[in-house]
Amino acid sequence: MTDLIENLRGKCPMQYKCLRRELQSEKVYTLKQAQQEANSIYQFQTFYFDNLPDEILVSLHRGNHRDRYLHNHDFFELLYVYKGSCVNMTREGEMPLNEGDLLLLNPNALHAPFAPGEENIVVNIIVRPSVFENVMLSLIADNKLFSNFFVNYLYHINMTTSYLYFPKDEEHPIKFIMDMLIAEYLSHDICYTNVMQAILVQLFAALARSYRKMNKVEIEDFEKSQLVVDIISHINQNIATVTLKELSERFQYSSSYISKLINSYTGKNFSEIVHFLRLDRAKKYLENKDLTITEITQAVGFSDSNYFYKVFKNRFNLSPSEYRKQVCSV
């Protein structure tokens, strides 16, 4: 297959320039935190992209120098070494990546890719969390490796690492899938976002098969964690009305077993996880100026507005009104 990116560089300079562009809509919160671990100080930045033009965005990595700080984003990122090599800096040190390797990072993952020289081509695929919340989770429900990874972050289960690493696998090549994704993104043709989501499903399937082979992991090993994912997803979808009894009837396990299972994977009991997710949902609703705070209180399942104000401020250090004023003024 013709090298797509090299072909774009030579014959389609405008499309190549599109891939090489800088993301201008970012808000950079400079040094956010300094953390001391084992006599080393890790300083990092968090990048917020408020006005990305697409739900899924493709670009070529421009980092040809070592960043001073590690950073993270408010989106999921796929880092694919299309040609050559690069080094990804992490808290643990340098992580070399070679041609054909792929790294999937959740928004918590601290990293700093470094790919000097024009001969090294690294592709970034940026995906908003809302894509998985609204569409993709149902499409990858049978792909336990990836559904677990995304749900763990989205619902704060904290069961897995902040990244997944996939070395090049000749039996499950993904370069042609990446070429399809890049070409579809550049086309911006009818339904291109939906087509890109379908291509991502294909990519995740190929990677999961490769992961299972290389790590000698059977699908059954994911079954218990998948049950927790399904339970947490159900709680989140029925956040205002869910009860432990209803979960027991829905999943055909005793209430005590479900409660212990949730606690063993999340460190929270049923009431705590419901409380946690209700406040997360309330934060999202507060970004909608059309909803009153009383309506939001009821929509997420709190019966007492005063109690809602109290627990919201305890967790986020802002009252609901203060939080709304802050996010709506940005």
Per-residue model confidence (pLDDT) at position 27: 36
Look up residue 58 and give its two tokens.
Answer: 């493709």
Q: What is the DSSP letter of 294?
A: H
| Euclidean distance between CA atoms 183 and 181, whole angstroms | 6
Q: Same domain, yes or no, for 196 and 259? A: no
Q: How many C-beta atoms surround the C-beta of residue 253 within 10 A?
A: 16
Q: Same domain, yes or no, for 187 and 287? A: no
What's the CATH code of the domain at 281?
Answer: 1.10.10.60
Per-residue model confidence (pLDDT) at position 265: 75
Per-residue model confidence (pLDDT) at position 258: 92
Residue 82 belongs to what domain range? Answer: 4-215
Contact partners, residue 160, CB within 8 Å, separation at least 6? 148, 149, 152
Among 161, 192, 215, identify where a domain stops: 215
Contact partners, residue 153, CB within 8 Å, separation at least 6? 76, 106, 107, 108, 129, 162
Q: Same domain, yes or no, for 307 and 209? A: no
What's the CATH code of the domain at 86?
Answer: 2.60.120.280
Per-residue model confidence (pLDDT) at position 28: 35
Q: Same domain, yes or no, for 101 and 250? A: no
Q: Same domain, yes or no, for 208 and 279? A: no
Per-residue model confidence (pLDDT) at position 53: 59
Per-residue model confidence (pLDDT) at position 327: 79
Per-residue model confidence (pLDDT) at position 52: 58
Q: Same domain, yes or no, for 110 and 210? A: yes
Nearest Cα to Cα of residue 74 among 57, 90, 92: 57
Q: What is the pLDDT of residues 74-129, one digit of tens each?
A: 788 999 999 889 888 887 788 899 999 999 988 878 888 888 777 888 888 988 88
Among 215, 239, 268, identify where a domain stops: 215
Among 190, 215, 240, identify where a domain stops: 215
Q: Same domain, yes or no, for 105 and 190? A: yes
User: Mapping DSSP to helix (H, G, I), strand (E, B) and coil, where does residue 258 land?
Assistant: helix
Per-residue model confidence (pLDDT) at position 38: 33
User: What is the tally of structural domains in the chain?
Assistant: 2
Q: What is the pLDDT of residues 266-308, one digit of tens each?
A: 778 899 889 988 998 998 899 888 889 999 999 999 989 999 9
Per-residue model confidence (pLDDT) at position 19: 53
**Spans of the chain, pLDDT less than 70:** 1-54, 62-68, 134, 157-160, 216-225, 329-330
Per-residue model confidence (pLDDT) at position 18: 53
| Euclidean distance between CA atoms 134 and 317, whole angstroms | 28
| Euclidean distance between CA atoms 96 and 254, whole angstroms | 47
Global pTM?
0.68
Q: Same domain, yes or no, for 143 and 263? A: no
Angle at 150 between CA 147 and CA 151, to 5 degrees: 80
Q: Same domain, yes or no, for 229 and 192? A: no
Q: Same domain, yes or no, for 272 and 181? A: no
Q: Same domain, yes or no, for 266 and 159? A: no
Residue type, 278: R
Q: Same domain, yes or no, for 163 and 52? A: yes
